[in-house]
Amino acid sequence: MNEQPTNGQPQDDSTHTISWVSYILHLLVAVSAIVPGAQIGPALLLVALVIDLVKKGDAHGWEATHFSFRIRTVLWAGLLYLLTLPLWFFFVFPGWLAWVAISIWFLYRIVLGMVRLNGQRPVTD
């Protein structure tokens, strides 16, 4: 049930699987935010966030860094979207540019986390 990764810390298979599920949900949201007309919506992101918040306490060592990383990424992206929302009301094009930039940043962070999780390495900001 527990594997011994390269860094010497035991890995909980269920926590590892939950991390992958969460990353895949985040990835679906991130890709849909960049592809025009494919917006999945915030509901799927909220599901992933709730999973991370609930299961964060079960993760230890390098795996715990992934839960914190995903939670921070979602909170920062949400804050940035809210801060740039007024641009849509006054200047549509700058609002669109801001949201595209935030979405690309979000996608980058999710892919970075997935690569690190695959390598059984911690993820930091």
Q: Rounded distance, CA 19 to CA 56, Å?
A: 10
The answer to whether 88 and 95 are in contact (CB under 8 A) is yes
pLDDT band of 11, cuts 50, 70, 90:
low
The pLDDT tens digits for 62-121 are 999 999 999 999 999 999 989 998 988 888 888 889 988 999 999 999 999 999 999 999
Q: Residue 2: enclosing H or E segment and its boundaries?
A: strand 2-3
